[in-house]
A and B are shown apart, each in its own frame.
Chain A
Amino acid sequence: MLRRYSLTYGLRLAVLAAALGLWQGLSVAGVIRSDEFPSMSQTASALSDLLTQSTLWSAVGQTLEGWGLGLVIGAAAALLVGTFIGVNGFAYRSAIGVIEFFKAIPVIAILPIGLVLWGATLTMKFALVAFAVFWPLVIQVRYGVRSLDPVVRDTTTVLQIKGARKFFMVILPSAAPFVATGLRVAAAVALVVDIITELIGGGSGIGERILLAENAGPSDYPQMYAYIVVAGVLGMVLAGAFAVAERYVLHWHESQRAAKAEGQDRGYSERQVLVIVA
């Protein structure tokens, strides 16, 4: 077992080293022009400089601010509406067409409206993130609410559990895996939208920094790539955090136990990829 792990990680490190070495080699040999694409060592030193500066961390903070606020608002609204259309058939049939329509609209189409309404502000950022997150999540919540086991539903009726108690003790736990899946996807979508609002909407954060570095010309290109790496790491950390939180919060649920039993040979879990499209 130990040998297998060390082989896996050895291979991965070797690939990383080879890729970075190739990058540096091509730059040194002049195959890649330095005014178009900085060398690996330049990028690495720009990254290590940035890590000690407050500009980077405040940009990360600003990005996380828009991401978090938008996600919370969008998710709360989706929980409410999703539960409502989950229990009310008429509301579902009335709204599903509209929801599917808005879900299909690329969020970036809404960006100009956000810009004329709020300008390049935090409000614009989280409003667009919330909008983007809401539509797919509301469908996911509705599926979760509908997934209630008929036996459990009938038991609830017989025991006369109603209202808020029914929502928190019966519906929500049963819908939880669907909601968790939807949230994990929403977190990734929210980051993309948030970065778009910074990159082309002018909001503050990592996206804005990348654009500024590009505008500053070739001397700042290493910084641009350093910020791109930061954006990727942020994406990985957030995705990882949601996956871990899901496993932790839902450890009692059969879907998680099944995932655990399946074995963890893969670099990324099957569910992680699958659910992006759920």
Chain B
Amino acid sequence: MSPSYLASLRLAGRAATRVWLFVVLFALWWFWSSGSKSLYFPPLSQILKALWTQWVTGPARAELAASLEHLIVGYVIAAAVGIGIGALLWSARYVRVATSPYLYFLYVLPAPVLVPAAMTLFGIGFTMKVVLIAFAAVWPTLLNTLDGMHSVDQVKLDTARVLGVSPAGRVFRVVLPAAAPQIVAGLRNSLQVAIILMVVSEWEASTDGIGYYIVNAQQSFDYVGMWSGIIVLAIIGTVANLLFVGAENRVLHWHYGARAVEGTR
């Protein structure tokens, strides 16, 4: 046998190892639910059909669009504010020391408890959701930015200063790159928080969004619709994660390259 034939065989084997469990789980679900008489667990074929007729070609597209709008606007605000305030706090030592316990309090506060309060303040519209998502998602990015900048090598900063790099140049060319891996870690954490808050806020009080669709379907005993909404959420989580990892690899490829050379981890 030729080596290339063996190599492609090995590649196929590796791919098969990665997917067989998915296939088995899917098949189990399909066959186990195909004859299901249970109201709660409708056949998978029906769920997939609803996924197509509701979410791809049907009326639920509007809910999907509404949810994504809440998520994206809220998350972008959280990311920008988190990095901005984090950088400002890093540069203002006394403010940082004075406020850090309160920032930490807001960080560990389970953000969903704020949903009822946000409803009394902002109603149940677009503003409420975006404010809530942004408020909840800002802390992981903010604290990670602050902490990443805090751990910048002082020697590097001093070297840059001696070499005559301006303060703004030091921030953009020394501090930000050094803190980037941790900022990205914070952004990833913020994204997860944002997705959860997106659904919770739509669930609790809303007239649109995926959370609204699911709770509505559940309360009107449309369990096929409910399952289709669950699958949409799963897809959103997975796709958001993949997009994030893709962007991270692009932005931080120099970092991973350097780490691989150093042989750390």
Looking at chain A's contact residues, is the secondary structure mostly helix, strand, loop, or mixed? helix
Is A148 part of the binding interface, using a Cβ–Cβ cutoff of 8 Å?
no
Residues of A close to B214: CB separation below 8 A: 109, 112
CA of A202 to CA of B224 in the docked complex: distance in angstroms? Answer: 22
On whether A109 and B150 interact (CB within 8 A), knowing A95-B21, A192-B111, A232-B109, the answer reads no
Closest-by-CB residue of A relative to B13 is A93
CA of A257 to CA of B174 in the docked complex: distance in angstroms? Answer: 29
Is A76 part of the binding interface, using a Cβ–Cβ cutoff of 8 Å?
no
The CB with the most chain A CB atoms within 10 A, among B112, B147, B186, is that of B112
Closest-by-CB residue of B relative to A233 is B105
Residues of A close to B18: CB separation below 8 A: 93-94, 96-97
Other-chain residue from A97, A232, A235 in contact with B19 (beta carbon distance below 8 A): A97
On whether A110 and B100 interact (CB within 8 A), knowing A207-B113, A274-B144, A274-B185, the answer reads no
Is A26 part of the binding interface, using a Cβ–Cβ cutoff of 8 Å?
no
Q: Which residues of B contact A (CB under 8 A)?
A: 14, 17-22, 25, 40, 94, 96-117, 119-121, 140, 143-144, 147, 150-151, 182, 185-186, 188-189, 192, 195-196, 199-200, 203-204, 211, 214-215, 218, 223, 226, 229-230, 233-234, 236-238, 240-241
- B234 engages A105 (CB within 8 Å): yes
- Tell me how far the C-beta of A273 lies from the nearest C-beta in chain B, rounded to whole angstroms: 5
Q: How many residues of A contact B (CB 8 A)?
A: 63
Is A252 part of the binding interface, using a Cβ–Cβ cutoff of 8 Å?
no
Residues of B close to A3: CB separation below 8 A: none
CA of A158 to CA of B103 in the docked complex: distance in angstroms? Answer: 51
- Tell me how far the C-beta of A270 lies from the nearest C-beta in chain B, rounded to whole angstroms: 5
- Tell me how far the C-beta of A183 lies from the nearest C-beta in chain B, rounded to whole angstroms: 15
Residues of A close to B97: CB separation below 8 A: 8, 11-12, 267
- B113 engages A228 (CB within 8 Å): yes
